[in-house]
Amino acid sequence: MSATTRTQEEIAARVKALESMLIEQGVMTTQAIDRMVELYENEVGPRLGAQVVVKAWTDPEFKARLVADATDACKELGIGGLQGEDMVVLENTDSVHNVIVCTLCSCYPWPVLGLPPNWYKDPQYRAAITREPRKVLREAFGFAVPDEVEVRVWDTSSEMRYWVLPQRPAGTDGWSEEQLLELVTRDAMIGVGPVGAVA
């Protein structure tokens, strides 16, 4: 195993070499590669999680089912699959704020949030969030959680996948689903940001 870091050009050449061998073995095809990429660039992303959140905000019975069994409830909306085979939704309240991490690698609920941002997979976030969550949220994300609110960090060490159901902001009574969708950010469902501001 090499102990030196590679340049982007060196990695690109290594990957193309590996790709050429896997293609010859029938493990990969460029067609299947392109389809997999298209799925996660255009089809599976945080918009899906936002749909679930808005449904929970506007349908108390659905929210009860979501909190009881997130995998089954998401299935009702046709949402689920790879790296989200077993999901648990974490409900934020006036007294509890949840935030997710995978300190051992990069586990993340792909079916509702898509692929994770790089900071989520980088060593810095994984090292600090279980130890100094309030400081990380404040300094990296500009998000202050009051001391009286308990911070619950969920370290995704098994195949269970956690994600956050943020609180519906005040002042949104009667809003349409489209308006509410705009408030639900990826960061709010990770737990590192609030929902969007109510204009």
Partner 1 sequence: MNGVFDLAGTDGIGPVVVPEEEPVFRADWERTVFPMFAMCFRAGFFGVDQFRHGIELIDPAVYLKSPYYEHWVHTVEHFGEQLGKLDIAELDRRTEHYLAHPDAPLPEHDDDPELLAFVEAVVPAGAPAKRESDKVARFQVGDVVRVIRSSPKGHTRRARYVRGAIGEVVLHHGPMIYADSAGNGLGENPEHVYTVRFRAEELWGAEYAEPNQVVNFDVWDPYLEPVTVTVTTEGARA
Q: What are phi and psi of 92, to 5 degrees?
A: -75, 145
Q: Which of 64, 68, 127, 144 binds partner 1 (CB under 8 A)?
A: 127
Choices 55-63, 118-126, 163-171, 172-180; region in contact with partner 1 by CB under 8 A: 118-126
d(CA 105, CA 72): 26
DSSP conformation class of 3: -
Amino acid at 166: P
- CA Rg value for the chain: 19
Q: Work out which of 114, 166, 191, 194 binds partner 1, going by CB under 8 A.
A: 114
Out of 41, 72, 76, 177, name the contact with partner 1 by CB under 8 A.
Answer: 41
Of the candidates 107, 157, 158, 176, the residue annotated as catalytic is 107
Single out the residue of 67, 77, 141, 185 in contact with partner 1 (rule: CB under 8 A): 141
Q: Which tokens is 56 given?
A: 């929970």
Stretch that binds partner 1, among 52-60, 112-120, 165-173, 175-183 (CB under 8 A): 112-120
- 43 is written with which tokens? 């089809």
**Cβ neighbours around 130 below 10 Å, total:** 14
**Site residues (CB under 8 A) for partner 1, limited to 62-91:** 80-86, 88
- Catalytic residue, chosen from 20, 105, 157, 176, is 105
Catalytic residue among 102, 157, 158, 176: 102
Question: In this complex, which beta carbon is closest to partner 1, that of residue 65 or of residue 134?
Answer: 134
**How far apart, in whole angstroms, are the C-alpha atoms of residue 141 and residue 166?**
16
In the block, tokens 């689920």 appear at 80
Sole binder of partner 1 in the list 59, 76, 139, 177 (CB under 8 A) = 139
Give yes or no for a contact between 91 and 150, defined as CB atoms under 8 angstroms apart. Answer: no
**Which of 48/180 has CB closer to partner 1?**
48
Flag whether 106 is marked binding.
Answer: yes
Element of type H or E holding 164: strand 160-165
Active site residue 157: no
Residues in binding site? 102, 105-107
- Residues with catalytic function: 102, 105-107
